[in-house]
Structures are given as structure tokens and as C-alpha cells.
């Protein structure tokens, strides 16, 4: 397959901006096998969608996603809408013969994720590719960490600790958003950011979580609704809405190797803005990745002489590190948005090479099963629950 790859994006909020950046920048730095064309962005409101198209470089805008995926001049459908719409849009797009990139978490329920994975399997038999957007896999330091584990540099994995901590909900009078509504978001901290912690821990270790024991809790159960001015500058009204998702989630897990792992997801951790951290301990060493220091990796070599033991800082900016050769001179940092360009690189390469991209919808389904198992464990006094029950 050669030539162009005409892209339609459904949704245009925060993730829409990030994905737009990826589609626009990737072909300017990487030698892509297909040239992405930002064909059309689709949203609910004509004026705001047109404004997003003009701002981020989409050729057209639309308010009808069904019409968009039926277009002959669309090859890829990129889904960045709230989770309650993922299944319907993705399945329809795959059945229409479009490649699909869907933001995480894959769906709001295991049943929806299973239906999406089945649709992706049917589409793959026709050469249609589907991928879920766990973008933190593509931060160079995280990808490099996976390579070190796979190469045996820390030996046999014994223990994993993963946490994703934010504090943007600390104010109990901060207004309701769709992320606090289970009908739209599926879950709260667990699905929104805990899904990233699960996927990244599994990606770095190369293992899967087989069983979990956990607890989820809502700390603030109602918040003011936004008034007529909706958005970041919206004003809170006197009317209050019910928070129907979790605010914090804690769980332990057992990996398929038998190693133990601990996880925490919170949007109430005071002082933490975007702290995704994964630490992996093994028989020969350990490593730690922290998204708030995303150009660095901590590495501990337990085989070094006793007088030289200690974590050392690796600056992951060399051209031999993953993804970095086309970017800036050694030592110049990358940022949050670069992972989305790496996502475009990997997705277009898979499509052009007729290979299965990762993480696949099946990978997304597995994460959904882990999240579901945590919720079931919490409802059953934190008993251990198999992730494939």
C-alpha cells in the first residue's frame, strides 16, 4: 500500500487537539510509508467543530459521524469522543472498511469491548486494522524500559508498583464534567488514568495481570452543575449533580509469572499533576519511569560492586533510543505531545505493512477486564477476582 491515508477524526476536545498534533507533525519528522491527509473532523456543534478544523488543520468539518465514516475519501477513523460512544462508532467504521484508532479506555464495559474486539477481528481478515491509543507506551523512556526488561537487564521480575496521580478534582466545588458521569465515562480515576497504569506496567514487563484485589471509592458524591457558559470558563449553577464514578482506586494484582504488583489511581492526590510512575524490581536490578520526568529513566544494576550500587539516571535523548533519531540533537527534550506523533508512525506503518498494530483492540479488552475485575473485587469486600472471569 502506497500513497496517502485520508483521516477523519470524530471528536475534537483535549484528545482531539493531541491527536491532531500527531497527524500534523509526524509526516514532517518521520519518513512515513503513507502520507496522512487530515480530511475531516466531526463534532456535535457546527460552529465549534468548524473552529477546531481551522485551528488544528483539518480540511473540513462535519456534525454527522455516520455520514463521515460512509465517505469514500476517508481511510482512517480516529475516535476521540467520550467512552460511551466508542463501541457504536468503532464497529460502524470497521464494518464500513475503515481503519480505526480509538482512544483509551477502549469502551465503558467489557461487553462493549468484546463487541469491538470481535468487529476488529472480522475486519482484520479483510485487511482493516484497529488500534487503541495507550500513547504512553510510545514515550521513548517507557519504550526503552521495556527493552531493558526484555533483554534481561533486571533479571526475573519480582515486583511491580504503578500509580497514576492527579489533583484536578481536589476542590469539592469544582463543577461536574462528563468524566464524573458513569453513563458517559464508564468509570472515574480507575478507567480514566488507572487504565494507563495497567497498560504501561504490562507493556514494560511484557506480562499480564491475571487476578486482582482492590477497592474503589467516591470521595465527593455531588458537585455544582455548569451554567449556560459551558467549558473551562463555565460558571457553576446552584443546581448540583450526582458524581457516579470512583475518585480513587487501589488494587493489588498477580502477574502471569506469579510476581506481585500494586496499583493506585487518584484524581485527588494533592500536589500531583500528571504523575504516572512505574517501578519494576527484578533479581538483577530495577528500573523506574516517571511521566513528570519523561525524558529520564532510573536504572539500578544489582550486579555492580557493592561500592557502586545505587539508582542512576539515564537521559533518554540519544538517537539510538526509541523514536528519537528524527527529532532534535542529543540532549534536547521531548514533551507530552510527541507520543502522538509516534502513535501515527506506528499505526501508519502497520497499515502499510499489512501487520497487526499494538496495542490492539484485544489488548484494550484485556485492560477493560482488569478494570472490571477491580470493581467487582471492591464490591465483594476486596476478594481476589480473576481478570478473565
Q: What is the number of other CB atoms lying within 10 angstroms of the CB of residue 227?
A: 13
- Please report the pLDDT score of residue 238 as a whole number: 72
Q: Where are the alpha helices (DSSP H) in the chain?
A: 14-29, 46-56, 65-69, 86-95, 110-124, 140-150, 182-185, 189, 195-205, 338-353, 361-379
Strand partners of residue 301:
285
Q: pTM for this structure?
A: 0.95
Instruction: Tell me which DSSP letter residue 194 carries.
Output: I
- Please report the pLDDT score of residue 237 as a whole number: 62
CB 94 within 8 A of CB 122: yes
Domain ranges of the chain: 4-136, 139-335+344-356+367-379
Q: What is the number of other CB atoms lying within 10 angstroms of the CB of residue 150?
A: 11
- The region, left, alpha or beta by phi > 0 then psi within -120 to 50, assigned to residue 351 is alpha
Q: What is the pLDDT along the chain (389 residues), one digit of tens a residue?
A: 559 999 999 999 999 999 999 999 999 999 999 999 999 999 999 999 999 999 999 999 999 999 999 999 999 999 999 999 999 999 999 999 999 999 999 999 999 999 999 999 999 999 999 999 999 999 999 999 999 999 999 999 999 999 999 999 999 999 999 999 999 999 999 999 999 999 999 999 999 999 999 999 999 999 999 864 344 445 556 789 999 999 999 999 999 999 999 999 999 999 999 999 999 999 999 999 999 999 999 999 999 999 999 999 999 999 999 999 999 999 999 999 999 999 999 999 999 998 999 999 999 999 999 999 999 999 999 999 999 86
Cα angle for residues 211, 213, 215 (degrees, 5° grid): 140
Give the fold, CATH level 3, of 139-335+344-356+367-379. Answer: Dihydrodipicolinate Reductase; domain 2 (3.30.360)
Instruction: Tell me which DSSP letter residue 151 carries.
Output: T
Look up residue 66 and give its three cell numbers.
Answer: 455516520
- Please report the pLDDT score of residue 354 as a whole number: 85
Q: How far apart, in whole angstroms, are the C-alpha atoms of residue 24 and residue 260?
A: 41
Give the fold, CATH level 3, of 4-136. Answer: Rossmann fold (3.40.50)
CB 264 within 8 A of CB 249: yes
Give the length of the chain: 389
CB 184 within 8 A of CB 83: yes
Q: How far apart, in whole angstroms, are the C-alpha atoms of residue 102 and residue 94?
A: 11
Buried b (16+ CB within 10 A) or exposed e, 58-88: bebbbeebeebbebeebbbbbbbbbbbbbbb
Q: Which of 86, 149, 140 is nearest to 339 (CA)?
A: 140
- Please report the pLDDT score of residue 230 as a whole number: 40
Look up residue 218 and give its three cell numbers.
Answer: 467516591
CB 297 within 8 A of CB 144: yes
- Please report the pLDDT score of residue 226 as a whole number: 81
Amino acid at each position: 500500500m502506497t500513497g496517502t491515508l485520508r483521516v477523519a477524526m470524530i471528536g475534537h476536545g483535549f484528545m482531539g487537539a493531541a491527536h491532531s498534533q500527531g497527524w500534523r507533525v509526524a509526516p514532517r519528522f518521520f519518513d512515513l510509508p503513507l502520507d496522512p491527509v487530515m480530511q475531516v473532523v466531526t463534532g456535535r456543534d457546527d460552529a465549534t467543530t468548524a473552529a477546531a478544523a481551522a485551528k488544528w488543520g483539518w480540511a473540513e468539518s462535519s456534525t454527522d459521524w455516520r455520514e463521515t465514516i460512509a465517505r469514500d475519501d476517508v481511510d482512517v477513523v480516529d475516535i476521540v469522543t467520550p467512552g460511551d460512544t466508542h463501541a457504536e462508532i468503532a464497529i460502524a467504521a470497521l464494518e464500513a472498511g475503515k481503519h480505526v484508532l480509538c482512544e483509551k479506555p477502549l469502551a465503558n464495559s467489557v461487553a462493549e469491548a468484546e463487541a469491538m474486539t470481535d468487529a476488529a477481528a472480522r475486519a482484520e481478515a479483510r485487511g482493516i486494522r484497529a488500534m487503541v491509543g495507550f500513547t504512553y507506551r510510545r514515550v521513548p523512556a517507557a519504550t526503552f524500559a521495556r527493552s531493558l526488561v526484555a533483554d534481561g537487564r533486571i533479571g526475573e521480575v519480582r515486583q511491580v508498583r504503578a500509580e497514576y496521580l492527579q489533583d484536578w478534582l481536589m476542590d469539592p466545588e469544582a463543577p461536574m464534567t462528563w468524566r464524573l458521569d458513569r453513563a458517559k465515562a464508564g468509570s472515574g480515576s480507575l478507567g480514566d488514568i488507572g487504565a494507563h497504569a495497567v497498560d504501561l506496567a504490562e507493556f514494560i514487563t511484557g506480562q499480564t495481570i491475571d487476578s486482582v484485589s482492590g477497592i474503589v471509592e467516591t470521595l465527593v458524591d455531588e458537585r455544582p452543575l455548569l451554567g449556560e457558559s459551558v467549558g473551562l470558563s463555565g460558571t457553576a449553577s446552584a443546581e448540583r449533580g450526582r458524581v457516579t464514578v470512583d475518585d480513587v482506586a487501589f488494587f493489588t494484582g498477580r502477574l502471569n509469572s506469579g510476581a506481585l504488583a500494586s496499583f493506585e489511581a487518584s484524581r485527588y492526590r494533592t500536589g500531583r499533576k500528571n504523575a504516572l510512575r512505574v517501578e519494576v524490581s527484578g533479581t538483577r536490578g530495577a528500573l523506574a519511569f516517571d511521566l513528570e520526568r519523561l525524558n529520564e529513566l532510573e536504572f539500578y544494576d544489582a550486579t555492580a560492586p557493592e561500592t557502586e550500587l545505587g539508582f542512576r539516571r539515564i537521559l533518554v535523548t540519544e538517537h539510538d533510543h526509541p523514536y528519537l533519531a528524527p527529532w532534535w540533537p542529543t540532549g534536547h527534550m521531548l514533551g507530552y505531545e510527541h507520543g502522538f506523533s509516534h502513535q501515527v508512525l506506528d499505526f501508519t506503518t502497520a497499515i502499510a505493512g499489512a501487520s497487526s498494530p499494538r496495542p490492539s483492540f484485544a489488548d484494550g479488552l484485556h485492560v477493560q477486564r482488569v478494570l472490571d475485575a477491580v470493581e467487582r473485587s471492591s464490591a465483594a469486600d476486596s476478594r481476589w477476582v480473576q481478570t478473565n472471569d
